[in-house]
Every structure is written in C-alpha cells, then in structure tokens.
Structure 1
Amino acid sequence: MLSEAYNTLNSKFQSFRNEALNSGVLSERDRVLAALVASISYESSEELRKWMIKAKQVGISQEEIDQLAAICLAIHISKLDFFGQANEINPTDSSGSSCCV
C-alpha cells in the first residue's frame, strides 16, 4: 500500500515537473534561465550541468550565465550578511518606473 502511494505521488510530481519545465507562459529561453538560477542557488551540480547544456542549445551566452551566477552569489552573500551590509544591497530600476515603490 505504501509503495502504491509512493508511485502515485512520484507520478504526479513528474507530471508537475514536466509541465513546469516544458510549458506555460514563459518562453523556453526564460524557463532555462529560471532553471539555471534554481540550480545555482540550490547548488545542484547535476542539475546545473544539465541546464548549462540546455542553455547553450537555446542560445544563452556565457556572459549571461556568468551574470546569473554573479547575481545568485550577490544575493546569497547578502543573505548570509558576511559584511553586515545585507540591507544596503538594493536592486535598481533602470526604467525610471515608479511602480511598486
């Protein structure tokens, strides 16, 4: 009985995962970027390797990947508050929009 529940749960998760990673409102490129960020953030080397290959296939440049990694690192370090300046790191809005301020 427990193995049946496990198999059912696993099947539902796989369906969810496939839908999240392969369809929806985001473009394939944006989904790959999101997966790269998650892989970097969760330090999943196996997933990162897989998404790096996919990133190259959809035309994401090494410079873009480097910037994603730098952003993940900057946010990670600010969360750890190594330098006592976590609240001093603020994203800037280059569009000049006053939305959501």
Structure 2
Amino acid sequence: MEDLPEPLLSDIIKRITRTGDRNSLSIVSKQLYDVDAEERGTIHVGCGLHPATESLSSLCSRFPNLWKVDINYSGNDDGSFGVNFTKQAVKGGLLNL
C-alpha cells in the first residue's frame, strides 16, 4: 500500500462514500490517514463532542479542506442544539477555532 502514489490513493478514497468505511480506511496506515484527511470536505459532529471544546478545533485541523461542518449536539434544556457551518464559515474565519 505504501508504494501506491498519493494521486491514485486519493482517487480510490474519493470513490468510498460511506463514512464508516472511510473511518476504517483511515486507521489502516498513516498514508491513508493523511490522504483521507485531505479528501474530506464535510464532517458531522454528534453529541459525543461538545462544539465549544478544542476537540472541534482539532477535527478541523485534521481535515484542511472542509467546506461543511454539521454539529448536532443534544445538550440543551429542550434536548437540541444544531449548527451548520458552510465553507465560508470554516475557511473564512467565521468559525473561530
């Protein structure tokens, strides 16, 4: 796997559409981890990660080409908290991380 050129790995990874499969692939090797991070444009943050922590900043640092971050956090009194950051917010600095 380490002998394959990055453009080929990138093309392979782009064809994998299920998030669980991409997550599994990224733990196989450091090279796949890095290529996967470069290719992801969106991430979804569930209730296990509070959006006000540095964990979110860490995620955004790992995926430098994000254009969308969906946050769905059930932590308010009414049980809901949802935010959607688009490319402008992520890349334009509106999302302060």
Higher relative contact order (CA 8 A, sep 6+): 2
Q: TM-score, normalised by structure 1?
A: 0.26
Q: TM-score, normalised by structure 2?
A: 0.27
The structure with the largest alpha-carbon Rg is 1
Task: Tell me which protein shows more helix as a share of its residues.
Answer: 1
Task: Tell me which protein shows more strand as a share of its residues.
Answer: 2
